[in-house]
């Protein structure tokens, strides 16, 4: 607390047409007053009763009966007739009750003095006294409340933010002004630093879906003195995250990472995200559209997943297949087609029609093309450390450069894996926050019922029991599926668009609150939380990390380089002592796929001697056998009598 | 046909140099005027003339406004003797930088009864109620209406006394400050010796001090004009100088529309100040005291004193 208050600033008024109720009342103040929309006040009636409320609307009027009287007094001249006496004015405020003390019986607000809230009043009004003090505090600071010279920390209840009582957080606001990403970054820092150890371990998986937004969470950002003061009030150290793991797929060339965090000083900290057939096949629903997935195709895909994948599969023609990659799968399909053709039965194989098999083959093999860089033909895998997640670590998945289908695949598989591990309690942490931006794209309120949307619905409705917490952001809350946003226990609003505020979901807000939301400055939020019976406005400091745009300025992304140079750069990022010539010598004459596989293995293992590991992963060089040219077996074409021949 | 008669009449009035009025329909005769005439003497000029004051001007930086209210109720009777409960209050608001703030307030509640008509036990019972009891002398012959009117006059005198007390306190504190009183200042008596800048604003014109062409000049003043200063007859009251001032045009309205009479203590500077005072009173037309039927003669700050007093009195009953 930087100052206290508690001075009388107004008085409750009630008339027959404007009565004071248990949930709402009116009070007047002097013309010069610290009261404003969002201010928290206390009404005290004797020592035994207090009512806390937040100001939601304000009116001013004078004793002028009609505008015409002002015209008469001014004799029709707007510039004249001001008069030597100011008209009597009133500032009349409407306040929504936050809490009664005692809670029962609920009665109309007494017609008594109104005071600006003190620090203790803010805690009582927002019911924070139940979870920020005592023997087992569990408050997570979300920002500071400011009014009338008072700066008071506002905290969320960890049980209602991360579960199990309630969970999930949703944040809305216009792009660029609502500071949605900054708010989530700050809140993650707050959770990591202030969540008591007895509440369990916690980590975060953040999907970076646009630009470099989340690419520099491990780098300190520029903070002002005002920001540092806010951090001091909130009891949080303004420092960047010290455990951040970055994951990004390759670009289609298979060696340059598809991320804006590619500056040579940082590239070594980005781990490739590469999946093979095994990782993808379980999520074919994401990749194949509805038209592809009829019952027959679905049945054949299930057959492949259950009977073929990762098993020794014997075909009817004496071949044995162990399908672990798209290349293995292609060999199986080729064997089936050839076998059927040789056997003269061209229509059915193991109850599956050849047309269905061809259709599934085409769709599946197309995946490695559509998701090139993420999905490999050869089965190489570089994945998140499922089962070994670390406490207070952030895992950033950079999918900003990927197309929509690949983004959906990444999102679906990672969240599914997280959920499965949390169900088995073997993820490595007790709570996991999943941050998804652009939620209206992944869980729209209308449109087809996609696999991604179904999964988000599942998380929002059942995730809190598992410790899987969804932090989601979007520009237009009204365009997101109602059940996804409705299940968010905590809701934040940054600056909002007036058109959005005109939608039915905001009818509960007063016009003044809507105006405040539409003009909210950066760094301010309106917070709804299960303990707060009315929305509360708070200010939060800039996150203690480098913002995306600043990060790109400070660490300009490296330009894509040819294959050999890219290999050199990636190995050098692991060990600066590695010379380019050493790498070039090692990969001279090797196939690109072999080099990619060795490089991926090296990056995944992060060995003490990266170059040695890389060479070992490449294996001994096998000299290519150069075949001697042989004479053509076909006879040369016989000259024809062609008058137009050259 | 009525409309056409009104139009023809209006044309006729204009034709003969008359002035067309508002033509507001009435149903009852106006109450009798208790003091229709009083004397006056010329001060500024040897006749009453209309003087254009030159338009509105800013007021002095600090001005105080004084007004009072009174309420009474016949709470019951002992025999035919009315027992009246009275409430009077006065307030003085000071205007500073455009804002009005209460500088002094006084209020009292009391009982009014004709003690001479009550027996000892009845007197004791009334006295033990609590508020001070004010004796109201009545004629020996009872009259249910006149007795109440007598009690009402007592209430009125109490109100005047409270107002005078406030004026006295203010003048002691600010002898050179401007004080605007709602109504005549002639009852302030010796106080005026200490307050040359006391101003009385009279909105009702029951008593006519002028006669003949002087009266016609005064009552038909054009907007923004004042009469020359004259002295009203004092009698037992303090001598005051006075003049009429037209705040709003009266054409198409009633004769007294926008007409106020201004009173000042009978000091020489009152004559020299008359035009300047009139100009800032013209400036007081805004803001309009619009919520009041007397808005054309009532200054907004004076209305605010009344509003303040009514709010203070609350639901006195």
Contact across the interface for B283 and A65, Cβ inside 8 Å: no
CB A451 within 8 A of CB A286: yes
CA distances to A297, A307, B34, B175, B203 from A311, in Å? 21, 7, 122, 111, 109
Q: In Å, how far is B230's CA from the nearest CA of chain A?
A: 28
| Percent helix, percent strand, percent coil in chain A, to nearest 5 | 35, 20, 45
pLDDT in tens, A147-165: 888 999 999 999 999 988 8
C-alpha closest to that of A301 among A341, A352, A339: A352
Q: In Å, how far is B286's CA from the nearest CA of chain A?
A: 4
Clarify whether residues B51 and B131 are in a common domain. Answer: no
Best probe of the A interface among B64, B248, B258, B288, by most A CBs < 10 A, is: B288
Contact across the interface for A85 and B291, Cβ inside 8 Å: no
Q: In Å, how far is A116's CA from the nearest CA of chain B?
A: 24
d(CA A326, CA A308): 13
CB pairs under 8 A between A and B: 52
Contact across the interface for A83 and B95, Cβ inside 8 Å: no
SS (H, E, C) A106-130: CCCCCCCEEEECCHHHHHHHCCHHH
Q: In this structure, is residue B149 part of a structural domain?
A: yes
Clarify whether residues B198 and B239 are in a common domain. Answer: yes
pLDDT in tens, A513-538: 999 999 999 999 999 999 999 999 99
Clarify whether residues B198 and B53 are in a common domain. Answer: yes
Clarify whether residues B110 and B163 are in a common domain. Answer: yes
Q: In this structure, is residue B305 part of a structural domain?
A: no
Domain layout of chain A by residue ranges: 8-76+86-125, 156-266+385-551, 278-370, 561-618
Of the candidates B95, B290, B307, the beta carbon closest to that of A85 is on B95
User: Residues of B numbered 244-283 whose beta carbons fall under 8 angstroms of chain A's beta carbons: which are they?
Assistant: 280, 283
Which pLDDT does position A328 carry in this prediction?
Answer: 85
C-alpha closest to that of B259 among B222, B228, B301, B284: B222
Clarify whether residues B229 and B277 are in a common domain. Answer: yes
**3-class secondary structure, A92:** strand
Whether B100 contacts chain A with CB within 8 A: yes
Which pLDDT does position A240 carry in this prediction?
Answer: 96
d(CA A272, CA A604): 8
Q: In this structure, is residue B3 part of a structural domain?
A: no
CB B203 within 8 A of CB B260: yes
CB B145 within 8 A of CB B31: no
DSSP class of residue A350? T
d(CA B121, CA A530): 69
Reported as type and span, the H/E element at residue A539 is strand A536-539
C-alpha closest to that of A143 among A546, A517, A549, A529: A529
Clarify whether residues B51 and B78 are in a common domain. Answer: no
Q: Is B8 exposed, middle or buried (0-12, 13-18, 19+ CB in 10 A)?
A: exposed
Whether B229 contacts chain A with CB within 8 A: no
Which pLDDT does position A53 carry in this prediction?
Answer: 97
Contact across the interface for B307 and A81, Cβ inside 8 Å: no
Please report residues of A whose CB lies closer than 8 A to that of B99: 86
Which pLDDT does position A568 carry in this prediction?
Answer: 87
d(CA A493, CA A528): 9
Which pLDDT does position A2 carry in this prediction?
Answer: 38
Clarify whether residues B188 and B254 are in a common domain. Answer: yes
Q: In Å, how far is B112's CA from the nearest CA of chain A?
A: 34
Clarify whether residues B147 and B233 are in a common domain. Answer: no
Q: In this structure, is residue B276 part of a structural domain?
A: yes
Which pLDDT does position A111 carry in this prediction?
Answer: 94
Is residue B87 very low, low, confident or very high in pLDDT (cuts 50, 70, 90)? Answer: very high
Of the candidates B284, B288, B307, the beta carbon closest to that of A84 is on B284
Please report residues of A whose CB lies closer than 8 A to that of B280: 84
What whole-number percentage of chain B has pLDDT above 70? 98
Please report residues of B whose CB lies closer than 8 A to that of A66: 290
pLDDT surpassing 70 at residue B248: yes
- Average pLDDT of the residues in A206-210: 92
Q: In Å, how far is B43's CA from the nearest CA of chain A?
A: 30
Which pLDDT does position A640 carry in this prediction?
Answer: 52
Q: In this structure, is residue B10 part of a structural domain?
A: no
Q: In Å, how far is A526's CA from the nearest CA of chain B?
A: 37
CB A446 within 8 A of CB A145: no
Which pLDDT does position B237 carry in this prediction?
Answer: 74
Residues pairing with B240 in the sheet: B265
Displacement of CA B269 from its chain's centroid (Å): 23
Which pLDDT does position A293 carry in this prediction?
Answer: 67
CB A124 within 8 A of CB A96: no
User: Residues of A numbered 37-76 whose beta carbons fall under 8 angstroms of chain B's beta carbons: which are they?
Assistant: 63-66, 69-70, 72-74
CA distances to A54, A216, A265, A394, B305 from A555, in Å? 45, 9, 8, 20, 71
Interaxial angle between packed helices A592-605 and A610-618, expressed in degrees from 0 to 180 and rounded to the nearest 10: 140
d(CA B242, CA B42): 10
Torsion of CA B48, B54, B59, B60, to 10 degrees: -80
Please report residues of B whose CB lies closer than 8 A to that of A64: 287, 290
Cα-based angle A448, A450, A456 (whole degrees, multiple of 5) = 125
Contact across the interface for B286 and A64, Cβ inside 8 Å: no
Contact across the interface for A85 and B100, Cβ inside 8 Å: yes
Please report residues of B whose CB lies closer than 8 A to that of A72: 288, 290
How many domains does chain B fold into?
Answer: 2
Of the candidates A65, A74, A85, the beta carbon closest to that of B300 is on A85
Q: In this structure, is residue B313 part of a structural domain?
A: no
pLDDT surpassing 60 at residue A631: no
CATH-assigned architecture of domain A156-266+385-551:
3-Layer(aba) Sandwich (3.40)
- Average pLDDT of the residues in A312-322: 85
Please report residues of B whose CB lies closer than 8 A to that of A70: 287-288
Whether B296 contacts chain A with CB within 8 A: no
Q: In Å, how far is A52's CA from the nearest CA of chain B?
A: 28
Which pLDDT does position B213 carry in this prediction?
Answer: 96
Which pLDDT does position A433 carry in this prediction?
Answer: 96
CB A326 within 8 A of CB A277: yes
Best probe of the A interface among B223, B287, B293, B302, by most A CBs < 10 A, is: B287
Contact across the interface for A88 and B307, Cβ inside 8 Å: yes
C-alpha closest to that of A569 among A272, A263, A253: A263
d(CA A326, CA A295): 23
Q: Which pair of tokens denotes residue A616?
A: 């070992």
For strands B198-202 and B178-182, give the pairing. parallel
Which pLDDT does position A350 carry in this prediction?
Answer: 86
DSSP code string of A355-376:
HHHHHHHHHHHHHHHHTBTTB-
Q: In Å, how far is B255's CA from the nearest CA of chain A?
A: 20
pLDDT surpassing 50 at residue B272: yes
Q: Which pair of tokens denotes residue A570?
A: 């990636």
Of the candidates A65, A82, A85, the beta carbon closest to that of B290 is on A65
Range with the poorest average pLDDT among A85-94, A596-605, B101-110, B226-235: A596-605
Taking the CA of residue A463 as centre, how many other CA atoms within 13 Å lie in the half-sphere pointing to its CB? 29
pLDDT in tens, A220-240: 999 999 999 999 999 999 999
Q: Is A224 exposed, middle or buried (0-12, 13-18, 19+ CB in 10 A)?
A: exposed
Q: Residue B142: which domain range?
A: 69-176
Q: In Å, how far is A85's CA from the nearest CA of chain B?
A: 4
Clarify whether residues B268 and B186 are in a common domain. Answer: yes
pLDDT in tens, A472-488: 999 999 999 999 999 99
- Average pLDDT of the residues in B278-304: 94
Contact across the interface for B284 and A73, Cβ inside 8 Å: no
Whether A11 contacts chain B with CB within 8 A: no
C-alpha closest to that of A271 among A236, A245, A242: A245
pLDDT in tens, B161-205: 999 999 999 998 988 889 999 999 988 888 888 778 999 999 999
Is residue A316 very low, low, confident or very high in pLDDT (cuts 50, 70, 90)? Answer: confident
Where in A299-385 does DSSP place strands (E)? 312-314, 320-322, 348-349, 352-353
Contact across the interface for A84 and B290, Cβ inside 8 Å: no
Q: Which pair of tokens denotes residue A262?
A: 């590619």
Among B138, B158, B176, give the residue marking a domain's end.
B176
Which pLDDT does position A3 carry in this prediction?
Answer: 38
CA distances to A134, A141, A187 from A154, in Å? 16, 6, 12
Q: Which pair of tokens denotes residue A370?
A: 């559509």
Residue of chain B whose Cα is closest to the Cα of A83? B286
Is residue A646 very low, low, confident or very high in pLDDT (cuts 50, 70, 90)? Answer: very low
Clarify whether residues B48 and B189 are in a common domain. Answer: yes
Q: Which pair of tokens denotes residue A43?
A: 């009404």
Which pLDDT does position A630 carry in this prediction?
Answer: 54
CA distances to A627, B2, B31 from B26, in Å? 129, 16, 13
Which pLDDT does position A4 carry in this prediction?
Answer: 43
Q: In Å, how far is A68's CA from the nearest CA of chain B?
A: 10
């Amino acid at each position: 607390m930087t100052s206290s208050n508690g001075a009388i600033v107004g008085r409750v008024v009630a008339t027959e047409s404007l009565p004071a109720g248990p949930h709402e009342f009116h009070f007047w103040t002097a013309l010069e007053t610290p009261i404003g929309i969002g201010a928290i006040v206390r009404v005290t009636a004797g020592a035994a009763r207090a009512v806390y409320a937040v100001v939601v609307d304000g009116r001013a009027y004078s004793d002028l009966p009609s505008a015409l009287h002002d015209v008469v007094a001014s004799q029709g001249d707007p510039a004249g007739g001001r008069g030597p006496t100011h008209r009597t004015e009133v500032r009349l405020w409407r306040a929504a009750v936050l809490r009664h003390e005692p809670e029962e019986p609920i009665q109309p607000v007494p017609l008594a003095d109104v005071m600006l809230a003190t620090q203790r009043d803010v805690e009582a009004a927002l019911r924070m006294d139940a979870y920020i003090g005592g023997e087992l505090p569990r408050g997570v600071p979300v920002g500071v409340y400011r009014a009338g010279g008072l700066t008071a920390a506002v905290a969320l209840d960890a049980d209602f933010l991360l579960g199990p009582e309630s969970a999930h957080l949703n944040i809305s606001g216009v792009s660029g002004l609502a500071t949605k990403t900054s708010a989530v970054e700050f809140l993650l820092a707050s959770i990591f630093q202030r969540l008591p150890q007895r509440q369990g371990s916690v980590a975060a998986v953040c999907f970076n879906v646009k630009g470099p937004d989340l690419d520099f969470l491990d780098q300190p950002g520029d903070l002002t003195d005002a920001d540092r003061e806010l951090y001091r009030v909130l009891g949080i150290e303004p420092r960047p995250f010290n455990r951040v793991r970055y994951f990004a797929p390759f670009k289609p060339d298979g060696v340059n990472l598809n991320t804006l965090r590619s500056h040579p000083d940082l590239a070594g900290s980005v781990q490739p995200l590469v999946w093979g057939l095994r990782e993808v096949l379980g999520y074919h629903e994401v990749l194949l559209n509805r038209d592809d997935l009829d019952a027959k195709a679905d049945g054949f895909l299930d057959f492949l997943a259950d009977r073929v994948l990762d098993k020794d599969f014997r075909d009817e023609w004496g071949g044995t297949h162990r399908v672990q990659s798209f290349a293995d799968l292609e060999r199986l399909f080729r064997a089936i087609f050839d076998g059927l053709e040789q056997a003269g039965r061209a229509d059915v194989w193991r109850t599956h029609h050849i047309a269905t098999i061809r259709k599934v083959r085409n769709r599946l093999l197309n995946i490695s093309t559509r998701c090139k860089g993420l999905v490999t033909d050869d089965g190489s895998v570089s994945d998140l450390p499922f089962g070994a997640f670390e406490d207070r670590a952030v895992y950033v998945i950079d999918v900003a450069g990927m197309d929509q289908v690949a983004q959906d695949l990444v999102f679906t598989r990672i969240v599914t894996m997280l959920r499965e591990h949390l169900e088995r309690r073997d993820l490595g942490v007790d709570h996991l926050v999943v941050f998804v931006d652009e939620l209206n794209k992944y869980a729209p309120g209308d449109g087809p019922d996609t696999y991604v949307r179904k999964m988000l619905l599942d998380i929002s409705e059942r995730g809190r029991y598992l410790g899987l917490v969804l932090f989601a952001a979007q520009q237009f809350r009204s365009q997101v599926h109602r059940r996804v946003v409705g299940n968010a226990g905590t809701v934040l609003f940054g600056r909002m668009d007036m058109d959005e505020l005109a939608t039915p979901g905001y009818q509960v807000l007063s016009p003044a609150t809507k105006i405040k939301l539409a003009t909210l400055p950066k760094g301010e939020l309106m917070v709804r939380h299960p303990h707060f019976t009315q929305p509360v406005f708070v200010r939060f400091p800039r996150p203690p990390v480098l913002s995306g745009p600043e990060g790109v300025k400070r660490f300009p992304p490296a330009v894509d380089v040819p294959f050999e140079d890219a290999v050199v750069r990636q190995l050098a990022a692991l060990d600066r002592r590695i010379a380019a010539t050493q790498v070039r010598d090692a990969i001279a004459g090797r196939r690109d796929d072999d080099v990619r596989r060795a490089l991926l293995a090296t990056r995944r293992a992060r060995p003490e001697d990266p170059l040695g590991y890389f060479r070992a992963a490449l294996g001994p060089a096998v000299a290519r056998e150069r075949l001697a040219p042989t004479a053509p077996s076909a006879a040369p074409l016989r000259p024809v009598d062609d008058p137009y021949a050259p | 046909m009525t409309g056409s008669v009104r139009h023809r009449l209006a044309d006729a009035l204009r034709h003969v140099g008359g002035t067309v009025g508002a033509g507001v329909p009435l149903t009852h005769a106006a109450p009798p005027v208790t003091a229709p005439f009083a004397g006056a003497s010329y001060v500024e000029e040897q006749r009453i003339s209309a003087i254009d004051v030159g338009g509105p001007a800013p007021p002095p930086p600090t001005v105080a406004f004084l007004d009072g209210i009174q309420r009474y109720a016949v709470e019951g009777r002992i025999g035919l003797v009315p027992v009246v409960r009275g409430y009077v209050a006065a307030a003085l608001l000071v205007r500073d930088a455009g804002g009005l703030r209460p500088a002094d307030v006084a209020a009292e509640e009391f009982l009014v009864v004709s003690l001479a008509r009550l027996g000892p036990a009845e007197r004791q019972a009334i006295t033990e109620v609590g508020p001070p009891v004010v004796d109201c002398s009545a004629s020996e012959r009872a009259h249910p209406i006149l007795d109440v009117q007598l009690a009402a006059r007592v209430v009125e005198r109490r109100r005047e006394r409270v107002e005078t007390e406030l004026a006295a306190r203010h003048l002691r504190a600010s002898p050179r400050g401007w004080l605007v009183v709602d109504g005549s200042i002639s009852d302030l008596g010796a106080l005026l010796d200490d307050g040359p800048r006391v101003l009385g604003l009279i909105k009702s014109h029951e008593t006519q001090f002028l006669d003949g062409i002087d009266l016609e000049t005064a009552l038909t003043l054009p907007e923004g004009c004042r009469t020359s200063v004259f002295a009203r007859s004092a009698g037992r009251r303090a001598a005051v100088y006075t003049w009429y001032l037209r705040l709003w045009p009266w054409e198409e309205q009633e004769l007294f529309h926008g007409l106020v009479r201004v009173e000042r203590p009978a000091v020489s500077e009152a004559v020299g100040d008359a035009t300047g005072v009139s100009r800032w009173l013209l400036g007081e037309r805004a803001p309009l005291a619009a919520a009041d039927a007397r808005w054309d003669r009532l200054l907004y700050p004076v209305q605010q004193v009344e509003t303040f007093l009514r709010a203070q009195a609350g639901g006195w009953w």
